[in-house]
Amino acid sequence: MKFHLIAKAAFVLSLLAAPCLAQRPRAAHDHFNRGSSLYQKGDFEGAIADFTKAIEISSRLDNRDWKGDAGFAGAGSNFDKVRALDPLAAAAYANRGLARYQLRDYESAIADCDRAIAINPRLSMAYNNRGIVRYAMRDYDRAIADLDRAIAINPRDAEAYNNRGNAYLDKEDIDRALADFDRALALDPRLKEIYFNRGFARRRKGDHDGALKDFDKAIALDPRFASGHYGRGVVMSYRNELDRAINEFNRAIELDPRFALAYGNRGLALLRQGKDAEAEKDFERALALKPELKAELESGVEQIRKWRQTKR
């Protein structure tokens, strides 16, 4: 019997660098770079604050909408009326949108990407970011349309191919997903996330050997890539190599103690081994980290319990 396993896609998320323009205010540049640094550290609220400052400094309100002496104090509520003085604002909007995506503020993230595109309609990363947000909202067709546009602007953007491949994968168009992952790797064979995604696409096609090779390659590129170990664990669970699977999930959790999916799948493997108490602890941890896994976990648990009844 083949058991339900919980999988996930890995997106490649990159911040835009500050455009090199001599006339840009130094303060705007400083806020932009600090916002990028805070984003990389996982301080998304702080990043949003600095990207907002960069936008304020590198933009101005249309004179018709200027409110007395308010200056930029009123800019936060009037951003739709901001006219950019240089491309830094477009990049800051795109990056702020990515930070808001990380906080799951999807509507605001899309609004920021819209503003970036209004300033610079050829800013491919803004379409890429908006596509990722729409994917998170399960608006797959519009996500693909945005990623199509990102690729049309920059046909050598490996990240956009990867991200579009994830959208195709969730639409069950596995062949198109594989084609996008292949193209992304041809453009940049160093992106471990793409090997991870192609591994799951191959697994869904029944190519478990190919999937394992992709997860192995991802780990070879980065031995501390928790998702690569998680992927190996999923394949080994599918093959009923439960001890090896649990070891891989253990390694994934060691590298990323907040890896909810690794706890969930380790729990399912333990349940199949009859280690109910240990499994229950893993399920509790998985749901504490990611409550939206509840339905998937319940489905997997029910499947295993029915299987166990048939083995009595």
pLDDT tens profile 22-57: 445 678 889 999 999 999 999 999 999 999 999 998
Using pLDDT thresholds of 50, 70 and 90, give the confidence band for residue 81: very low
pLDDT tens profile 148-163: 999 999 999 999 999 9
Mean pLDDT of the chain: 86
Structural domains in the chain, CATH included, are: 223-312 (1.25.40.10)
Using pLDDT thresholds of 50, 70 and 90, give the confidence band for residue 206: very high
pLDDT tens profile 284-299: 999 999 999 999 999 9
Using CA atoms, how far apart are residues 269 and 167, in angstroms rounded to an integer? 28
Percent residues over pLDDT 90 in the chain:
77
Give the angle 112-139-268 at the CA atoms, nearest 5°. Answer: 110
Using pLDDT thresholds of 50, 70 and 90, give the confidence band for residue 13: low
Q: Tell me the three-class secondary structure of the chain, residue by residue.
A: CCCCCCCCCCCCCCCCCCCCCCCCCHHHHHHHHHHHHHHHCCCHHHHHHHHHHHHHHCEEECHHHCCCCCHHHHHHHCHHHEEECCCHHHHHHHHHHHHHHHCCCHHHHHHHHHHHHHHCCCCHHHHHHHHHHHHHCCCHHHHHHHHHHHHHHCCCCHHHHHHHHHHHHHCCCHHHHHHHHHHHHHHCCCCHHHHHHHHHHHHHCCCHHHHHHHHHHHHHHCCCCHHHHHHHHHHHHHCCCHHHHHHHHHHHHHHCCCCHHHHHHHHHHHHHCCCHHHHHHHHHHHHHHCHHHHHHHHHHHHHHHHHHHHCC
What pLDDT is recorded for position 26? Answer: 79
Lowest mean pLDDT across 63-67, 74-78, 117-121, 122-126? 63-67
